[in-house]
Copies of this chain bind each other. A is one copy, B any other.
């Protein structure tokens, strides 16, 4: 097997690793694919892998990681004094609006990963925690509270949970899915308005 991308205009090692991994995950599944497999197909040394990705599981979450970075940037740009909840919603929706219909994190399409694999599952949840932190930090800043205040934590976790729900439901819809933005709007609305109203 030739290295992916051989002959074509030179791709970055990062790109080569990413596409080699994507191929292999489809061919053999995530669990059965080793880091060695990936680097061999990408045509780079094994050590190089860890220069670009701190863990194998990071390959599953490329799109989501980018979205979380975006969210942090958007929130950092919110002027002090703006209504905090509305600001989070708007930021999340702006980010969602830029996610293409095929920018689904591999983790959410790979059945092999969705199942029992505890380790990969928690890799996804690490993103949820990161996003919770980002939101909690922002809420604390806007409200003048501490980021580990119960109300701030609860609100941040709930919002982050809603955002996760949107990604999950969207990804599961399969090929015919509509824009992520629609899911995101609905999910954030549910927790913003209160579960009491939304559920029954």
**Residues of A participating in the B interface, judged by any CB pair closer than 8 Å:** 54-55, 83-85, 118, 121-126, 128-129, 132, 139, 143, 148-151, 153-162, 164-166, 168-169, 172, 183, 186-187, 190-200
**Which one of B143, B157, B172 contacts A165 once the chains associate, using CB atoms below 8 Å?**
B157
State the number of copies, please.
Answer: 2
Q: Give Cα distance in the complex from A156 to B199, angstroms.
A: 10
A192 and B191: CB pair below 8 A? no
A155 and B190: CB pair below 8 A? yes
Q: Give Cα distance in the complex from A84 to B183, angstroms.
A: 23
Q: Give Cα distance in the complex from A171 to B85, angstroms.
A: 26
B139 and A199: CB pair below 8 A? yes
Q: Give Cα distance in the complex from A53 to B166, angstroms.
A: 33
Q: Give Cα distance in the complex from A13 to B83, angstroms.
A: 54
Please name all residues of chain B whose beta carbon is closer than 8 Å to the beta carbon of A193 when the two chains form the complex: 194, 196
What are 22 A-B residue pairs whose CB atoms fall within 8 Å in the complex?
A: A55-B118, A84-B200, A85-B200, A118-B126, A122-B125, A125-B126, A128-B128, A132-B161, A139-B199, A148-B169, A150-B165, A151-B198, A153-B165, A154-B166, A154-B186, A155-B195, A157-B162, A157-B165, A158-B161, A158-B162, A158-B195, A194-B197
